[in-house]
Chains A and B, each alone.
Chain A
């Protein structure tokens, strides 16, 4: 029973969006919409996966500290976007996040932990701001946010899982190749943002 308990708790936490108790009739279902939002843009996806890749490269404690930092700061950015605080240049910053994080993975950049956290947090702020400013009305706030956070976390987890190949020599090269791909994608989006 003890081993099944975490799984059961996770199942409870991932209840289908149709079944929630506090809802005013007529509202759109939020969980699916929120889950789709972070994965709706490739520029967001590559950055969030790159956070996981870089964390895996850096090893403990960065492997879990960076994916913790990014959602929290991203949520703060989303908060700023929701309340209308101006934060110009978010699209450029988002594109730059792909370039910088991809370069970090490519070069196996190993800064002090606090530098990595600040870098990831800064980019997370802009990612979150862009999401927050785009959030549509008519959604169930909490379910939307749950879907949003869950999708972001799963993208990080995907990056970390892929990054586990770092333990093998061929995996280290594969990761650097992935970093190069992320960087190229970031450059593509940066071009689109500034052109």
Chain B
């Protein structure tokens, strides 16, 4: 695909719009609402990208297993919330902060992880964020389709991000990935502190 066309399409899809709580109204149907929601939620795409970088740095096996796991876990987490489970107020944001810190720290240190541990991280991230995305949302066909859209976005963004780090040969790109991990860990620390002080306003 032409690079400029691809860039333009992605920018159009993720162009900012006014947003209500929980689900974005893209006007293009529930699946695109879900896709837009993922693209407009830093608490979703940042850890996905970081986890993809981490798995990609470890190799194709890690990346493939983690890709499948995080996608399925995200779907499962969303289903849990849609099924009516109510989460305590700061539970999901607090876990999100912990995951930021954990994933970011592991990426910053370029830790040698076994595939199973990557998958455990993927399960944790998928369930927490999937549940957070659909928290407080009533079960309906449109919301289920939105969850499908979100999950598809997770799959695509993870695959793209992992593909960036998989073939890395240049040291400076590996360093850039590790620096991004340190930033994510820092973000998790600040977010955790904020939750403890003010309580969470982001689910």
List the interface of chain A (C-beta within 8 A of B): 1-9, 11-13, 15-16, 18-25, 27, 64, 67-68, 71-72, 74-76, 78-84, 132, 135, 137, 140-146, 148-150, 153
Contact = CB atoms under 8 A, between A and B. Distances in A.
Size bin of chain B's contact surface? 35 or more
A149 B186 contact: yes
B194 A19 contact: no
A145 B190 contact: yes
B164 A6 contact: yes
Contact of A146 (B1, B42, B132, B175): B42
B42 A5 contact: no
A18 B18 contact: yes
Interface of B: 1, 3, 6-7, 10-11, 14-24, 36-37, 39-43, 45-46, 49, 93, 108, 132, 157, 160-161, 163-164, 175, 178-179, 182-183, 185-198, 200-203
A65 B180 CA distance: 12
Contacts of A13: 42, 45-46, 49
B150 to A, nearest CB: 10
7 contacts: A1-B3, A13-B45, A15-B14, A15-B40, A74-B186, A75-B188, A140-B201
Which DSSP category, helix, strand, loop or mixed, fits chain A's interface?
helix
A143 B42 contact: yes
B193 A81 contact: yes
A22 B203 contact: yes
A23 B192 contact: no
A25 B198 contact: no
Contacts of B6: 1, 4, 8
B158 to A, nearest CB: 11
A21 B45 contact: no
A26 B2 CA distance: 41
Contact of B183 (A16, A140, A149): A149
